[in-house]
Structure 1
Amino acid sequence: MIHELKEIIHQALINQEKGLKNVLASVVFLDGSSYRKPGVRMLISEDLNSVGAVSGGCVEKEIIHRSKAVFENNTAKIITYDGRYRLGCEGILYILLEPFTIKKEFLEDFTKATSKRESLKIESYFIKKDETSGDFGSIVTFENNKKFQFLDATINPKNEFDCFTQILQPAFRLIIIGGEHDAVKLCKIAANLGWEIEVITSAKDPKTLHDFPGAKSVAGESPETISFSGIEENTAIVIMNHSYVQDLKYVTKLSKYRPKYIGILGAPKRRERLFNELFEFVPDISEEFLDQIYTPAGLHIGAQTPEEIAISIIAEILSVIRNKEPFYLRNITDKIHNS
């Protein structure tokens, strides 16, 4: 996830300012099953503090302990962790530990790429052996084809090396249209997922970033003046104006776009009225667009408080973008991620 890498880079910079070295731990291969999958990372600083996680919490202590040699000799190495006997996950993790230095040029390109919502590629070179040091490491490639590595030494991939390749997509984008208490709760909870949140409040009652902790931007707009851009991919919109007229105006404005999800608060009886009036305002509206509208927004989990309703909406968004029909995990007899 790009937000996890952002947190790691942020902390690495803080450590560097303190004169502390960093080691990046990346899960690059999994033989069997585990709590988390290849591509997860954590950062260890020279004082053996850490941020991030590669499991449910059991592996991290051993990674920190085994990273000491990387700090001492400044050479990357591969370690394994057999979770079959300690985690109950039936898998062996292969973890790349590499010296991690953030250079100014890399930071500039990373900042530009994330602000422009571009993807990036990380290629990690390793071998499937335990406690083995070598010319291992990761290479980051941006959409402008610039390449960076975190090691000071040159990474020379050899024929016998394996390569784990990961494409990190831009942070998932959530646009909240509404400025009341429930919109604040949705913003706070979604921010914990690392989503990029934009809040649109009423132009007559504008709010600020101070009112919406975790938001990237807050702006006062109206359906007549607002202009949407870049919402065709990786974007969900939740409309929570508590005004049917305003809801209808915003949905009419959105009818020319194709976000992944449009959620609207309100009673079920409003849905048919909303769709009927949409056909009046936009006669050529497509079935595809209507299928993207979820109203009332949220999964039926008995949510009552604003916080619970926010959770139900976020769960529904995840089920839609991951193309999963919600059900109890206890009903699964096979691997979770195969279902």
Structure 2
Amino acid sequence: MTFEFKKIIDAYFEAKSHKLDCVLSTVVHLEGSSYRRPGVRMLIQSNGKMIGAVSGGCVEQEVKRQSDSVFETSISKVIKYDGRYRLGCEGVLTILIEPMRLDDSFLNIFRTFLEERRLFKIDTSYMMEVGVNQILGSSIVLGDKIYPLSNRNANLHDVESVEVFSQILKPCFRLVIFGSEHDAVQLCQFGQIIGWEVIVVSDLKSSKTINDFPGASVFLTVENGAFDVSLIDSQTAIVLMSHNFAGDLKNLLSLIHSKPVYLGLLGPAKRRDQLLSQMLEYLTEDISSDTFFDRIHGPAGLNIGAETPQEIAISIISEILAVVHQQNPMCLSEKLGSIHA
């Protein structure tokens, strides 16, 4: 969700530069099932533009209509949206709509947190009862600094019936692609579409640039596996897909001390076995088998019959998501209970 909130912040300051007022809507509570869970947000600008979403598209117009009074009064309000009778979603959403006001000083600190890949928190106070209340609203917590979205000075702990929805946001998920061929371009595009920060790593012989990779945030050229492993953390997935055995081997060796959540090897099982065998021959130190090697997935991707570069990219991204969310891939029609359970 961090990338969604980043888009909202960017859109807010862009609107502010054009002297447009904004309100923020946040799903703070859910009874039953819904397309999205609590913590999703949508920014509404005074010109009617909406950034983000709080559902699959069925709730947004009602939230926009309800936001008119918040623009007029600058007072937060709680609304409920009952999808049981309108949508068949079997869910009742409690949504807080609040005026959004952030000082310019916030932006640089927020961007620093994103660049340094630090956790941050959003606390949203609300009531379950529908109505307006000027003490309700959100605060963004960046380290020891707290940034209220609106001017609220009340001590919420002294107010009955006020609840707080707290959300810890992790760094944006990062995908590092070693390779610059056509299939790497497709994987880069799909990664960017779902909100990942994509880094493409190529060798010095390649003539490609970042312009050849729509959606890439960084394009690096490295020699002999000289990759900076400090770019890799537990919120990072890696895919080796250079189509060059020696290149993949060098890159694999350079990653030996990294701890990505996922490390995918493109190609058949035979190629994987050869890579790992060669890697073990070159190693001059013992590597615990339950750490680095357990993160390796090869051949990369889920078995969905993928043939084209686009389908292969979807297969790989699907496996990464399954690993990150610790899920055993299956058809939802065969899953018992809640989709999000």
TM-score, normalisation: structure 1 = 0.96
Partner of residue 284 from structure 1, selected from 286, 291, 294:
286
Distance 2:286 2:18 in 1: 60
Q: Which range is displaced more, 122-131 or 100-109?
A: 100-109
SS in 1 for 2:183: helix
Q: Which residue of 2 aligns with 1:12?
A: 12
Distance 2:165 2:173 in 1: 23
Distance 1:287 1:119 in 2: 30
Deviation at 1:277, TM superposition (A): 1.8
Equivalent pair of 2:77/2:133 in contact (CA under 8 Å): yes
Matched, 1:314 2:317: yes
Question: Does the residue aligned with 1:216 lie in a helix, a strand or coil?
Answer: strand
C-alpha spacing 1:59/1:15, structure 2 compared with 1 (3 Å): same
- One-letter code aligned to 1:314: I
- SS of the residue corresponding to residue 85 of structure 1 reads coil
2:164 match: 163
Distance 1:271 1:201 in 2: 20
Work out the CA distance in 2 between the residues paired with 1:142 and 1:323: 28
SS of the residue 2:216 aligns to: coil
Q: Which residue number corresponds to residue 302 of structure 1? A: 305
Aligned-partner Cα distance in 1 for 2:147–2:47: 26
Could you tell me which amino acid in structure 2 is paired with residue 195 of structure 1? W
Matched, 1:128 2:116: no
- Could you tell me the percent identity over the aligned residues? 43
Q: Which runs of 5+ in 2 are unaligned?
A: none
Amino acid at match of 2:288: S
- The one-character-per-residue Cα deviations of 1:196-245 (angstroms, maximum 9, x if unpaired) are 11111111225322121111110110234222114231111011110111
**Contact 2:27-2:38 within 8 A present in 1 as well:** yes
Q: State the Cα distance separating 1:137 from its structure 2 match.
A: 0.5
Moved over 6 A (4+): none
Q: Deviations over 1:86-144 (max 9, x none)?
A: 2222221110100012321111111111111111100000100113333100011112x
Aligned residues: 337
Q: Are 1:56 and 2:56 an aligned pair? A: yes
Q: Tell me the SS of whatever aligns to 1:31.
A: strand
One-letter amino acid of the structure 2 residue matched with residue 203 of structure 1: L
- Say whether 1:79 aligns with 2:82: no
| Post-superposition offset of 1:18 | 2.2
- Indicate conservation of the 8 Å contact 1:196/1:215, yes or no: yes
Shift of 1:170: 0.5
Contact 1:206–1:220 under 8 Å retained in 2 = no
Following superposition, the deviation at residue 268 of structure 1 comes to 1.9
Secondary structure of 2:124's partner?
strand
Hey, what does 1:113 align to over in structure 2? 113
- Which shows bigger deviation, 35-44 or 12-21? 12-21
Contact (CA 8 Å) 2:114, 2:171: kept in 1 or not? yes
The aligned amino acid for 2:106 is F
Could you tell me whether the CA contact under 8 Å between 1:207 and 1:218 is conserved in 2?
no
Greater CA drift, 320-329 or 151-160: 151-160
Moved more, 268-277 or 328-337: 268-277
Cα distance between partner residues in 1 of 2:147 and 2:102: 10
1:150 is aligned to 2:149: yes
User: 1:263-282 residue pairs with structure 2 within 5 A?
Assistant: 263-282=264-283
Further displaced range: 126-135 or 290-299: 126-135
- Which residue number corresponds to residue 323 of structure 1? 326
Tell me if structure 2 keeps the 8 A contact 1:124–1:139.
yes
What is the rounded CA distance, in whole Å, between the counterparts of 1:156 and 1:213 in structure 2?
47
Q: Indicate conservation of the 8 Å contact 2:43/2:50, yes or no.
A: yes
Aligned equivalents of 2:269, 2:110: Cα separation in 1: 44
- SS for the counterpart of 1:287 is coil
Instruction: Supply the distance in 1 between the matched residues of 2:177 and 2:287 (Cα, whole angstroms).
Output: 23
Q: Give distance in 2, aligned partners of 1:53 and 1:185.
A: 26
Describe the SS at the equivalent of 1:129: coil
Q: TM-score, normalised by structure 2?
A: 0.95
- Structure 1 residues not aligned, in runs of 5+: none
TM-fit CA distance, 1:155: 5.0
Report the equivalent of 2:335: 332
1:101 aligned residue: 101
SS of structure 1 residue aligned to 2:92:
strand
Q: Compute the displacement of 1:265 (Å).
A: 1.0
* Contact 1:136–1:155 (8 Å) recurs in 2: no
